[in-house]
Amino acid sequence: MNPTCNVQIFNTRLSSNNAIAIIRHYDIILDGTDNFGTRYLIDDCCLALNKIHIYGAIFQFEGQVSVFNYQGGPRYRDFHNEIKNKHILEDTCSNAGVLGLLPGIIGTLQATETVKVILGYKFILSGIVLKYNALTLSFKKFKIINTQFILSQKNKLGKGQLITKGSHLFQEINVIEFKKLLYNNSSKYIIFDVRSPKEYRTMHLKSAINLPLQNLKEQKYLILDEKDTKCFIYCSLDSRSIFASNFFAKQGFKITRIKGGLNAWINIIGSESL
């Protein structure tokens, strides 16, 4: 229906053998699967690749939606840990049924969260499960409290929150703090835009240098003097900048990632300041 969309179809079943290779090319993963095994697989891959996981599930007259692995928030296993249950095969849509209209409702809610994430809006269903009941036409929200992530860590660390990804460490800064730093600090700095050249030519932060993620390892950036230069990284949203920040951190650089990327800058600061 939209001729500008590039739809790629994988004529195969998602498995542990191909999941990483498929998922790594995308920033946001919408999970419309119907079994726990595939959901756990998607969850593990999204965590490993720093991808946003937008979850949707349906059963009989009810549905659930949430956003996992978003800016340090909970993952799917925090919400639904794997439990061995001999009756688990009995509770499927195939034999228990599902209201035919329900997939469209839950899918629309997933699409709504996707658009909000892309546009950089603040209120995302991260750490929250939205439950819909078609019989009562009601919505309820539940907080995810069984999580290995420290959701209140930001309040303890304040500005320049340190984020740990595996064995690497990098800093994060929001666009408001970043703008203040640019205008109030005379220190040397360099800004890396890790989006594609086409995205960069369309719009980018002032003084930013295009360093496409796909060419990251080929760039001769190691001549930078990190003692005298502050390095910042951003992308459209978060996924690519997180990957790039981890890559730089592995090389020993002190990197600060701009949270929310260009989308957050446009929505909060405004495009006229670019």
235 is annotated as an active-site residue: no
- Rounded Cα distance, 41 and 20, in Å: 9
Q: Which of 45, 46, 93, 231 is catalytic?
A: 93
User: Do the beta carbons of residue 229 and residue 189 sit within 8 Å?
Assistant: yes
Beta-carbon count within 10 A of 216 CB: 16
Q: Which amino acid, one-letter code, is at 190?
A: I
Q: Are 96 and 59 in contact (CB under 8 A)?
A: yes
Asked if 167 and 155 touch (Cβ cutoff 8 Å), the reply is no
CA separation (Å) from 35 to 57, 91, 163, 229?
Answer: 9, 10, 32, 49
* Tokens (6 digits) for 143: 């907080």
**What are the catalytic residues?**
93
